[in-house]
Amino acid sequence: MLPLADIRVLAIEQFGAGPWATLQLADLGAEVIKIEDPASGGDVGRYVPPFQEGEDSLFFETFNRNKKSVSLDLRHEAGRERFERLVRVSDVVFSNLRGDQPEKLRLRYDDLKHLNPRIVCCSLSGFGMTGPRASDGGYDYMMQGLAGWMALTGEPDGPPTKSGLSLVDLSGGYVAALAVLAGLWRARRDGAGCDCDLALLDVALHELMYVGTWAASREYVPPRRSNSAHPSLVPFQNFETADGWIVVAAPKEKFWVRVCEAIGRPELATDPRFADFGARDRNREELAPILEEAFRVRPSAEWLELLRAAGVPSSPVNDVPGAVGEARIVEYEHPTLGTVRQVASPLRLSDAEPPVGRAPFRGEHDDEVEDFVGA
């Protein structure tokens, strides 16, 4: 049995962050029932191009495999009554709406505990359910700007730059899934549910990690580094080769010695300018051209073979098709989209392989859900 096979989640969700959160739960066996508003055509992710036909898209498939769908308008009495019947037999009510919407739609613990005292209510919004920005919409790109990510990303003389993926949405989804599991554990232990109030901005700010600690403690303003270089460890960056790019990492002194040996410059390891972390950081502008010149003389494959043989952490800089070639792939047939191939979930427990199934059609499980909640 999958670890969350006895959990039922009601998900009022759309686009990326929320569906990503409940996808993690579905991949662990939870029954995730999407509540889709028929007035708006359901989850807007159904209509995201490219590779979209009608209410089906590869974008939607990515976030919603193994889920169920019911059509409910929570603003109407009949839809609310049906929703409340579902709450009675569920474990989690999850939403990723604006922060003011859980109160308006009565999705908070205080609104639902009379129906099910152990219900866990999780809201993932841009700015949280309280505060002056609760009613503001919040999206990944905005959070990357607000949280300083864009100021950290890109070449030194380039414009502020977002990350290539919606990492605030994805991180917010993982944090929300963790919060839900913690709430569930407490509800089963203590017999009472709770609210989980999560903000994408809080997640993005927390992920400033040590850079945030440096800034908060010493008002440090981190500079951008060329070639995606690490802010303090040298070398730890991309290097151009004769035919592409590779990543070379020396996060320990022993790796620095091995880099010097691999490029045929063992004397650099004992050069006082580069003798330890601090020296290499202070003198990175002198060291970088030496290493860049060395790495340009061979193709990537030769360097990776040499570096791996020397025990130096290194990798190619793949394009996306190349990266997918490194992945475990799952596939299934879709009635509209044909063969759908996705990167497999990393959530693997022994003897509990995540299921592989398509995303639901809108309202596909109306009758099934009606059967188990009763008329």
Same CATH topology for 8-206+325-373 and 227-240+245-316: the answer is: no
Q: Which of 66-75, 290-299, 315-324, 366-375 shows the lowest per-residue confidence on average (mean pLDDT)?
A: 366-375
**8-206+325-373: CATH topology:** Rossmann fold (3.40.50)
In angstroms, the CA 122 to CA 370 distance is 24
| Per-residue confidence (pLDDT) for residue 372, from 0 to 100 | 77
Q: Which residues, including other chains, have CB under 8 Å from residue 257's CB and lie 6 or more apart?
A: 266, 269
Q: What is the DSSP letter of 116?
A: -
The string over 188-209, giving b where at least 16 C-beta atoms fall within 10 Å of a residue's C-beta and e elsewhere, is eeeeebbbbbbbbbbbbbebbe
Residues in the chain: 375
- Per domain, the residue ranges of the chain are 8-206+325-373, 227-240+245-316
371 — pLDDT class (breaks 50, 70, 90)? confident
The tokens for 73 are 């308008």
CB 327 within 8 A of CB 343: yes
In angstroms, the CA 330 to CA 116 distance is 37
Output the average pLDDT for the chain. Answer: 96
375 pLDDT more than 70? no
CATH 3.30.1540.10 fits 227-240+245-316, yes or no: yes
Average pLDDT estimate for 80-87: 97
- Which pLDDT tens digit goes with each residue over 96-148? 999 999 999 999 999 999 999 999 999 999 999 999 999 999 999 999 999 99
Full-model pTM: 0.94
Q: Which of 133-137, 297-301, 351-355 shows the lowest per-residue confidence on average (mean pLDDT)?
A: 351-355
- Which pLDDT tens digit goes with each residue over 202-261? 999 999 999 999 999 999 999 999 999 999 999 999 999 999 999 999 999 999 999 999
Q: How far is CA 215 from CA 147, 233, 304, in A?
A: 12, 18, 36
Average pLDDT estimate for 41-52: 97
Which residues are known to be catalytic? 230
